[in-house]
Amino acid sequence: MINRSRNLFMLFALVLSLLFLTVGCGKNSSSEATPARSTGTGQSGQTTSLDGSTKDKPQSDEPLVVYLNDFDEMIKPLFEEATGYKLELVTGNGAEIMSRIEAEKGNPHWDVVWMDAMPSIHQLGKSGQLLEGWIPKNYENLTDFAKAFVPENHSYYPTGAHAAAVLVYNTKAFTRETAPKSWDDLTKPAFKGSLGMADPAVAAPAYPFVAWFFQNKGMDGGKAYFDALFKNGAKVYPKNPNVAKALTGGEIKVAALQESNAYTLKNQNEPVEIVWPEEGAPASVRVVAIQKQTKHLEAAKAFVEFLLDPKTQQKLIDQGEEAYFEPSAKGATPKKDRAGQAKLVVAEADWAAQHEAEIKQWFADQAVK
């Protein structure tokens, strides 16, 4: 009753169609780079004031698509009002956004990415996925600290830096005198079993935090340092909010915590105090980059100029959720309650990108033991 050979043929046809589909994708990596929507408003031609680069590309009615991990509540109206360009956002945590970008490599849907994941974006630049060589007008207005992060090929620009971790202690457990003052203090017996930190394999800012130690102390030195922390009973939580919760809940008494999270706790009158270690707090740098094949180059450039504008950065500090950071533009001032001598130290982007896989794997396996 059943025709065996016919069935086999059909199965073969299915497998063939799979091959057909996948070969189809191999060929498409060039042209189409925009989403299949056209909800444009026709406003894009109205303003060219920011950098006057109207001649770069034909104008488009489609909105500019920005992938980002913070400030999504406020940036859209601010930018649309300031420039007249239409904006569409895709929000996610750093890892989600990077996964999307990676999966879309054959047919990117994003025009601009703006995230505090400098090593990952540096890697995008190295693999030729970012617009290179363009220098925004606002470049000259960057602080010296910020200028140091701009790569040679000018594929991305910093919009600010925040401490990936500062020391935070529970004031019920420690006083100003007994609290840890430097990162090395954490290996002391006084803090046995009381430390918690975020997992660099999961939390976006936790990698820049550990990367600085590894670059500073060398790979072996870095491993020895974190080994000592683990031996001292350090607990690793998936993300910074988890660390914050463990700290206020009493599971841990000292935390290496991202600064906006830390100041949020303080502003909520939780019994915590923040310590900026003298040797510096390892920082995560937020950078903005333009996709190489973008069809909306003009709007994308306007967006970068907009973010590098001190007025914009001041608004992010005054109204934003992740408001605690050091702005990259001269003229913008950080939050007043942020420590005046907040010293940030940063692992070199290229070094951090190269060692990312190795360090994260070491951490993941270490935490299991």
Partner 1 sequence: MGWFVLAILFLLILLPLAAVILQVLLPGIFFGKLTVGDLSLLFEVFRRPLWLLSLKNSLLLGIGTTLFAALLGGALAMVRAKWSFPTARWLDVANWLLIITPSFILAQGWVMFASSGGIAAEWFGWGWFHSLVFNPLGLIAIMTLSKFPLAYLTVYAALEWKEKRLHDAARLNGGSAWAVLRTVDMPLLLPAYFSGALLIFMDTVGDFGMPASIAAVFRFPTLPYSIYTALYTSPIRFDMAGVLSFYLVLLIALAMGLQFYVLRKSRYDFLTARATRYEPQKPKRFAMLLTTGNLFFLAIVLGIPFGSNLLMSLSDSTTTSGIKGLTLQHYEQLFRNGGPLLESIQHSIGIASIAALVGVILGFLVAYVLTYSLFPYRQVIDVISLISFAVPGVVLGIGYIFIWNQAWLKSVGLLLYGTPWILVLAGIAGAIPITTRIMVGGMAKIPKTLLHAAQVQGAGGIQRMVSILFPLLRAAFLSSVLAAFGTTVFDLAITSILYPPNFITLPVSINKAFENLQFGYASAVTLTGGGLVILIILIVQLIFKENRFHGGRGME
Q: Which residue has the tokens 């590098």?
A: 308
Helical H runs in the chain?
4-26, 72-83, 94-103, 118-126, 144-147, 206-231, 240-249, 259-267, 297-308, 310-319, 349-368
Q: Is 135 helix (H, G, I), strand (E, B) or coil?
A: coil
Q: Do the beta carbons of residue 108 and residue 295 sit within 8 Å?
A: no
Q: Two tokens at 45? A: 């031609």
Cβ closest to partner 1, residue 201 vs residue 288:
201
Residue by residue, DSSP assigns 86-132 as -EEEEE--HHHHHHHHHHTTTS---SEEEES-HHHHHHHHHTT-B--
Compute φ and ψ for 211, nearest 5 degrees.
-60, -35
Q: Which of 16, 103, 148, 219 binds partner 1 (CB under 8 A)?
A: 103
Cβ closest to partner 1, residue 104 vs residue 185:
104
Is residue 5 at the binding interface for partner 1, with CB under 8 A as the rule? no
How far apart CA 334 and CA 354 sit, in angstroms, is 31
Q: Which of 74, 78, 90, 224 binds partner 1 (CB under 8 A)?
A: 90
Distances (CA, A) of 331 to 116, 224, 253, 311, 352: 21, 41, 37, 8, 29
Is residue 242 at the binding interface for partner 1, with CB under 8 A as the rule? yes
Is residue 360 at the binding interface for partner 1, with CB under 8 A as the rule? yes
Least Å distance, CB 174 to partner 1, is: 16
Is residue 300 at the binding interface for partner 1, with CB under 8 A as the rule? no
Spell out, one character per residue from 317 to 356, where the chain touches partner 1: x when CB under 8 A holds, - when not: ----x-------------------------------x--x
Least Å distance, CB 285 to partner 1, is: 14
Is residue 48 at the binding interface for partner 1, with CB under 8 A as the rule? no
Q: Could you say which residues in the range 114-173 bind partner 1, by CB under 8 A?
A: 117, 119-120, 123
Least Å distance, CB 140 to partner 1, is: 31
Q: Which of 342, 195, 220 is nearest to 282 (CA)?
A: 342
How far apart CA 305 and CA 302 sit, in angstroms, is 5
Q: Which of 44, 60, 215, 264 binds partner 1 (CB under 8 A)?
A: 264
Is residue 18 at the binding interface for partner 1, with CB under 8 A as the rule? yes
Is residue 250 at the binding interface for partner 1, with CB under 8 A as the rule? yes
Stretch that binds partner 1, among 175-183, 244-252, 282-290, 291-299 (CB under 8 A): 244-252
Q: Which of 51, 80, 96, 227 binds partner 1 (CB under 8 A)?
A: 96
